[in-house]
Amino acid sequence: MCKPHMIFIMMILFSSIICGCINNGFVSGRGRVVFVDLEGGFYGIIGENGEKYYPINLNQSFKIDGLHVKFEGRLCRNISTAHMWGKPVEITKIEIID
């Protein structure tokens, strides 16, 4: 049986993984959504500055290869992804642009 303090420690560790994007930096810009055909495929964003972003919470309606977007988000420096492509980012705002 788990002791209460062990449960508390496990909750802290779990929340730090889930909240890995909080207070780690802010990013905003314009870019293009791209389908990357690696490791089963996924969607990323390539910024106008050439930077690659791996959106960990990209809404299904924005998963369109070639879609031009304006986005804001929090950089997630405390997590790693299986895809190892771009900077992981939690999208906080995104909109389609012409």
The third-level CATH classification (topology) of the domain covering 4-96 is: OB fold (Dihydrolipoamide Acetyltransferase, E2P) (2.40.50)
Mean pLDDT of each 10-residue bin along the chain, 98 residues long: 51 43 78 94 96 96 98 88 87 96
Domain boundaries, the chain: 4-96
Determine the distance from the C-alpha atom of residue 55 to the mean position of all C-alpha atoms in its chain, rounded to a whole number.
3
Dihedral over Cα of 90, 43, 83, 86: its sign: negative
Position 78 scores a pLDDT of: 77
The closest of 95, 90, 80, 81 to 27, measured between CA atoms, is: 90
Position 1 scores a pLDDT of: 53
Position 83 scores a pLDDT of: 73
